[in-house]
Amino acid sequence: MCRLALKTANEPFSPYEVLTAMEAMQEGYDGSGLGLLLRGMEFEDFKYNPRFPILSGIAHTEKAWKRLTEYMEERGYELKYDHRFHMKPELIEAEDRHRYFLRAYRMPLAFRDQSDEVREAELLRTRLALRKLGKQKDNITVFSFFPDVAMIKEVGWPLQIGNALCLHDNQIKSRVCMAQGRQNTNYGINLYACHPFFMQGISTMTNGENTAFVPIRDWLVGKNIPG
């Protein structure tokens, strides 16, 4: 089974703290994926406004990075902050990783004064559109697009990924950190299959093989909820 870790605190802390705690559970994951969900964000080089949605994911090629940037501009999002990880790429097992991104945006003008419900629906539509755009050539992976939330996912061992992205440098902190080291029991190695999962303010992570997957999936699909 996978191994889970969660820390919450009043003062923001580095996600690397949670990764070091996961070292005690090495026998419970196999390097097929690490997922981190961060809430209550703080950046060392940017005074973050929690109202700005953060887009998190991976652009697998330079062309994909350009397409993502152009799409967000066309949709009316104003880039406020573009985080640059201090990378050690030699520690990343995958080779098609042009750019990991955490990007904070100002909402399009038409949505800035709308209700939270309307704004969240727009963020969901944008996230699904980007996922569809990336799926065409399998070159953009989007994990979350929501205010005050960021997600990091990668294939490999938790502490190795933390070192590869230099998460120990305190450039990124949060008040909540959910982490899962994956053990591949029921799905191929796929970044989207790695917990935690996040959708419109709700995040989950599960330990164990989900033997009820098919009926749960069918029930959810029957609800006709876009996300």
Torsion 128-96-52-198 (CA) sign: positive
Q: What average pLDDT does the structure give for the chain? A: 89
Q: Is the peptide bond before 196 cis (omega within 30 degrees of 0)?
A: yes
> How far is it, in rounded angstroms, from Cα 75 to Cα 209?
39
> What domains are defined for the chain?
3-222 (3.60.20.10)
- Residue 96: phi and psi, rounded to 5, are -95, 65
Residues present in the chain in total:
227
* pLDDT bucket at 208, cuts 50 / 70 / 90: low
Who wins on pLDDT, 182 or 153?
153
% the chain with pLDDT above 90 = 60
How do residues 56-73 score in pLDDT, each as one tens digit?
999 999 999 999 999 999
